Amino acid sequence: MGFAQFAFTVFAVATVIWGLGVIFARNPVHSVLCLIMAFISTAGLFVLIGAEYLAFLLVVVYVGAVAVLFLFVVMMLDVDFAELRAGYAKYLPIGIVVAVALIVEIGFIVLSWGGSAEDGIARAASDGGPNNAEQLGMVLYTDYVHFFQIAGLVLLVAMIGAILLTFRERRGIKTQDVGAQVGRKREEGVEVVSVPTGKGI
């Protein structure tokens, strides 16, 4: 057994174990932590097949943003998970159907695979051309540059929309008007008073 096959076995087994931990963990915080470890193990599998860019995205986006967000939401919200588990039996048939469909799809993929894992790793490692990150960058910024810019514009509009939706002006609360403070003149902000000696203000 070579190093590549050994590393693939370790990452694959770890991914399955952490995935089972996500499903069967009773504590939701432990479930999210298992999800983070499953993402990291999957990133290791992507590195083995030469997809470093996908591994980087998986760690940065899913582990660094989504999973950590899930963790903070689960820890901060007071959710009654016992009540959520009460309706588990009602959705069990649907879950079984989805699981069977996934198993059948995975079986088709395994049966139609024409080579071994070592062959794919060897082909990815022996390619002397640009790696997948460079190839993806060249394609994005040459053939699909307009679509890439439109996607960035859509994300910007979505971010502005989210800010506007969450911004609520509350009346009856004293707040600072920054525009009025910056635009006022010296005569409006400073008053010179002539006080007679010995009489005070």
Which structural domain range is residue 77 located in? 1-128
In a domain? residue 40? yes
CA-CA distance, 133 to 60, in Å (whole number)? Answer: 15
- pLDDT, tens digit (0-9, with 9 covering 90-100), for 23-75: 888 777 788 888 888 888 888 888 888 788 888 888 888 887 777 777 777 77
117 with 100, same domain: the answer is yes
Residue 189 lies in a domain: no
Scored b (16 or more CB within 10 A) or e, 68-100 reads eebbeebeeeeeeeeeeeeeeeeeeeeeeeeee
- My answer on whether 119 and 151 are in the same domain is no
Same domain flag for 64 and 140: no
Q: Kindly list the distances between the CA atom of residue 111 and the CA atoms of 42, 97, 157, in Å, as whole numbers in the listed order.
A: 22, 21, 45
Tokens of 121: 């790793």
Same domain, 91 and 44: yes
| Residues 157 and 86 grouped into a single domain | no
> Does a structural domain hold residue 123?
yes
Q: Is the pLDDT of residue 15 over 70?
A: yes
Residues 87-116: pLDDT tens digits? 667 777 887 887 888 788 777 766 765 555
Residue 153 CA from chain centroid, whole number: 19
The tokens describing 91, both together, are 């959705």
Q: What is the pLDDT of residues 119-148, one digit of tens each?
A: 555 555 555 566 777 888 888 888 888 998
Residues 102 and 142 occupy one common structural domain: no
* Count of domains for the chain: 2
DSSP string, 129-180: S--HHHHHHHHHHHTSHHHHHHHHHHHHHHHHHHHHHH--PPTT-----HHH
Retrieve residue 32's tokens: 């999210």
Written as one letter, the residue type at 83 is: E
pTM of the complete model beyond 0.85: no
CATH code, domain carrying 37:
1.20.120.1200
Is the same domain home to 115 and 158?
A: no
Do residues 68 and 102 both lie within one domain? yes
